Amino acid sequence: MLRALELAGRGPAHGPNPRVGCVLLDRRGTALGEGWHAGAGSPHAEVAALEAARRAGADVRGATAVVTLEPCNHTGRTGPCTEALLAAGVTTVVHAVDDPDPDAAGGADRLREAGVDVVGGLRRGEGEELLRVWLHAVRSGRPWVTLKLAATLDGRVAAADGTSRWITSAASRRHAHAHRALVDAIAVGTGTALADDPALTVRPEEGEPPAHQPLRVVVGRRDVPEGARLREPGGALVQARSHDVGEVLAVLAERRVRHLLVEGGPTLAAAFLRAGAVDELHAYVAPVLLGAGPTAVADLGIASIGGASRWRTVETVRLDDDVLVVARPSGPRAGTTTSSTTSSPSTEET
């Protein structure tokens, strides 16, 4: 199963489909074939593993399939994995995570009905972590939201005169661009869009830009100017003309966005936090002091320390002199959806 999880990680983190890995074993525990899902329209992990075994001349009758996600039981752009496993003569299936997608679920029951021995829940914790973005989107009906902040030690995102380039290091900016390549959409408020004229594209230091460019989402009612960089080549531009976080997320869910990266500015960050809609926080902290200037997050309506929004650190990364803190909510999420997502001070990451 650990190998299947490793294989699953080779699939794209972005897109509507889950990352899945599969290993086929004979009765002695020898690997016959392995595979992973490479993205929408490509063979599912189970089918890829069966094809690999066939290419190797292996007999998969009586084999065990070890899969990170319960085999699907529906026909989409590819056929049901359950039927492929049954046709191949696989007699045992072990999976880590039950499939919560109502359109694809039921694979375990279908296999059991056909006489296959099915065991679920092996390494469930690791499987849930690998699939956390996709699982959250399917279970909740809204995208997983990562909020990115880039600030000084005293929490400023710009100096008093509005200048902000560059607070964080080149290493932090490279890391942020690499993370953009993993998401389905990037959001900024209209204030940031108008003040900074960001491109919101994935731009490697060397080589051609990747084929995948996230949707570029502007939240607010004001128009994006015709000559804006957001209208240049890159991901499609989506104008979410609402001040309601729930409405914005619903629009993106309809477009099958599983992972939304919120990048700016302070007002939009506060709106998502007040709505309790942030699932993970990426805070790039630079050893810089300004003493004045806009803060990374606008007013959250918290009056006392007892009402502070508490988070738990899940990872820290050293980026030259900067530090990235990755955190997730440690308790109940604050607030209800706010209607204050309009103009915001400019931010340094574009």
- The catalytic site residues sit at 46
- What are phi and psi for residue 215, nearest 5 degrees? -55, 145
- Calpha distance 246→231 (Å, rounded): 25
Name the residue among 39, 44, 48 with its Cα closest to residue 17.
39
The string of DSSP codes covering 264-297 is E-HHHHHHHHHTT--SEEEEEEES---SSS-BSS
Instruction: Tell the burial category of 62 from Cβ atoms under 10 Å away from its Cβ (0-12, 13-18, 19+).
Output: exposed
Q: How far apart are CA 8 and CA 73, in angstroms?
A: 19
Q: Is 15 left (phi over 0), alpha (psi -120 to 50) or beta?
A: left
Residues 6+ apart with CB under 8 A from 29: none
Q: Where are the alpha helices (DSSP H) in 105-227?
A: 107-113, 124-130, 132-140, 170-180, 190-196
Determine the Cα–Cα distance for residues 4 and 76; give it in Å rounded to an integer.
23
Which of 148, 106, 155 is CA-nearest to residue 273? 148
3 Rama sector, left if φ>0, alpha if ψ -120 to 50, beta otherwise: alpha
